Structure 1
Amino acid sequence: MPIRHCIVHLIEKKPDGSPAVLHARDTELAESQAIENLLADLNESYNAKQGKAWGYFHDESGAFPFSGWLAQYLENAQDFTAFSRQAVEHLQKLMEESNLSTGGHVLFAHYQQGMTEYLAIALLHHSEGVAVTDSLDVTPAKHLDLGQLHLAARINLSEWRNNKQSRQYISFIKGKNGKKVSDYFRDFIGCQEGVDAPGETRTLLKAFSDFVESEDLSEDETRAKTSALVDYASSQARLGEAITLEELSGLIDEDRPKAFYDHIRNKDYGLSPEIPPDKRTLNQFRRFTGRAEGLSISFEAHLLGSRIEYDEAQDTLIIRQLPTQLKDQLKRNKD
């Protein structure tokens, strides 16, 4: 993971309305194994976070100047240190306006993975711990607590520059509990949500369920294709990468690698060629299937306990809200 530029600034701020004090670094950090380890750990923690949103920049303006500064840096109009200083001063101002915000170390890292360039920005905090010294004394020690990562964003610089129509080149951690204390950080980046990751993932799983039904597959074939989808989508979620529909289609059916992709396009589910996976939605998805003596039953696991009830003692399933197509057939048969 080549790191092109990296710098850390410090903003001291308590969530009590007190002024935010900036301690800005004058030069970027030199390459080191410690920096590489930090960025690797940061990416691992960030990728594991649930509740991320995907979006794109607001138009550059006085309220949202960050994208303009970033463009100047990428066009070599200013260096990385000057860009990060402008950005962190803007963050300091927004942090002062947000009484609930807390300061911390602000990391800016421009790095590359494969052919793709990224900019990661994160507000880092410390935890108190203990360490054993060379003389075998026990002493208090601070360490960066990446498990408590609440304010961070990652910008796919390559996609931003090369795909002007994209609405998902920025990902950021969403806050919780109503009006979010993290709103100021999203505004600092100048980002607006462009893709509903849980909704897109649910639509993908619905398209897959429809595809499996239309193919009239055996139980083993259905299970294998479901595993292929969930394994691939979960892997992409761990890596912080999008699901590529064409790649997924090839994994689901190696003999007919375009079959699932064509199904999605022909049925017009409205999915983009690449969609961000939502881990929570994926974790809920598993199919129960069974077939015997002219009876075929298949449903998603999350429906059990809501629309579908299983009575083990009576060996029965109770199904509510039957599909419209099935109800129509039953009505016609009754007539």
Structure 2
Amino acid sequence: MPVLHSVIHKIDKKPDGNPAILHRSAGELVENQVRDELISQFNESYNAKPGKGWGFFHAESGAHPFSGWLSNYLAGTEDFMEFSNIAVEHLQKLMEESNLTVGGNVLFCHYRQGMTDYLIIALVQEAEAVVMTDGLTLQPIRRLDLDSIFLAARINLSEWKNNPASKQYVSYLKAKKGRRVTEYFRDFIGVQEGIDGPGETRTLLKAFSDFVESEDLGEESAREKTDTLVSYAMSKAKLGEPITLDELSEVLDDDQPKAFAEFVLGKDYGLSASIPPDKKTLNKFRRFTGRADGLSISFDQHLLGSKVEFDEAGGTLTLRKLPTQLTDQLKRASA
């Protein structure tokens, strides 16, 4: 993962109404192992954060100038330091106007992963830590707290340039401290919500359940495919990459690699060709199975409360919208 350019500026701002003070870096971060490990650790922490938003840039304007500055940098009319300086000045101004957040260390990093270029922007706080010195004494230090980042975004620069119609080339964290904080940072970058990650993931899982039902798979086969889907989707989430329908379809069935993709495209699910995986939604997806005395039951968790109703006191399940094949068999048996 080559780091092309990186810098950290600092904004001092207290929640007391006083002006924010900007400390500009004199230059880019020095190319060394410490810098590379910092960026690697940031990406691991960022990828692990649940509930991200996905979107695309507003048209460049006075209210949303960031994409214009970024375009100038990528075109070579401004260098990386010029770009980061004007961007962090804009962030400082928005901080003072909104008064919604304290300051912190502002990280800008342009890096390449495989054939794809990314830009990450994050407000990183500091935390107290203790280290052991060579003389075996304890020494307090301040470290960058990468585990507690709540304002950050990652821009897929390659997709933005090569597929400008995309609505998911920017991902950003949704702050737990409130919607207004997230919106303030989104306004800084000039991004609008495009793809609903949790909603798209839920729709994908619904399409998968319908597919399993239509294939009339056995219990073991259905469970294996469910495990395969969740494993694939989680691996993509860990890497910060989208799920692609074609690739998922191939992973689900080597013998019929296009079956699932064709099933989805043939139905009115409205899914995108690539889907940002939502880890929280995926964590809730599993199959309930049970077999006893000639009775075998298997269904996906998300059907509980809709097609499947569980009466805990009575120990019964109520099934709704039975598969047509099962309904036909029952009708014939009762005739």
Question: What's the TM-score once normalised by structure 2's chain length?
Answer: 0.92
Cα pair distance change 1:177/1:134, threshold 3 Å: closer
Cα displacement (A) at 1:297: 3.2
Superposition pairs for residues 306-325 of structure 1, below 5 Å?
307-309=308-310, 311=312, 316-319=315-318, 322-323=320-321
Does the 8 Å contact 1:219/1:290 carry over to 2?
A: no
Cα offsets for 1:78-116 (capped at 9, x unmatched)? 000000000000000001112231101101000000000
- Note the C-alpha offset of 1:302: 4.3
1:50 aligns to what? 50
Partner of 1:143: 143
Q: For 1:257 and 1:179, how far apart are their aligned partners in 2?
A: 41
Written as runs of structure 1 = structure 2, the 5 A alignment for 1:1-335 is 1-176=1-176, 178-290=178-290, 297-304=297-304, 307-309=308-310, 311=312, 316-319=315-318, 322-323=320-321
For residues 324 and 296 of structure 1, what CA distance do their matches in structure 2 show? 15
Is the CA contact (8 Å cut-off) linking 1:110 and 1:118 kept in structure 2?
A: yes
Distance in 2, matches of 1:261 and 1:292, equals 35
Unaligned runs of 5+ in 2: none
**SS, match of residue 257 in structure 2:** coil
SS of the counterpart of 2:111? strand
Q: CA RMSD in A?
A: 2.3
Distance in 1 separating the partners of 2:316 and 2:165: 47
Query: Offset of 1:308 from its aligned partner?
Result: 2.7
Change in CA separation of 1:323 and 1:178 when aligned onto 2, cut-off 3 Å: farther
Measure the CA separation in 2 of the matches of 1:16 and 1:100: 11
Which whole-Å CA distance do the structure 2 matches of 1:170 and 1:71 have between them?
Answer: 15
- Paired residues, what number? 330
1:293 CA drift (Å) = 8.2
Q: Are 2:286 and 2:300, in contact at CA under 8 Å, matched by a contact in 1?
A: yes
Q: What's the CA shift string for 1:269-310, capped at 9, x where partnerless?
A: 111110000000000000123567886533222455785326
Confirm or deny: 8 A CA contact 2:111 2:117 kept in the other structure. yes
Per the alignment, in what secondary structure is the counterpart of residue 110 of structure 2? Answer: strand
Distance apart, 1:182 and its partner CA: 2.9
TM-score using structure 1 length = 0.92
8 Å contact from structure 1 (residues 20, 96) kept in 2: yes
Residues in 2 aligned to 1:162 and 1:292: alpha-carbon distance in whole angstroms: 55
* More off after superposition, 193-202 vs 95-104: 95-104
Counterpart CA distance in 2 for 1:323 and 1:17 is 59
The SS at the match of 1:269 is: coil
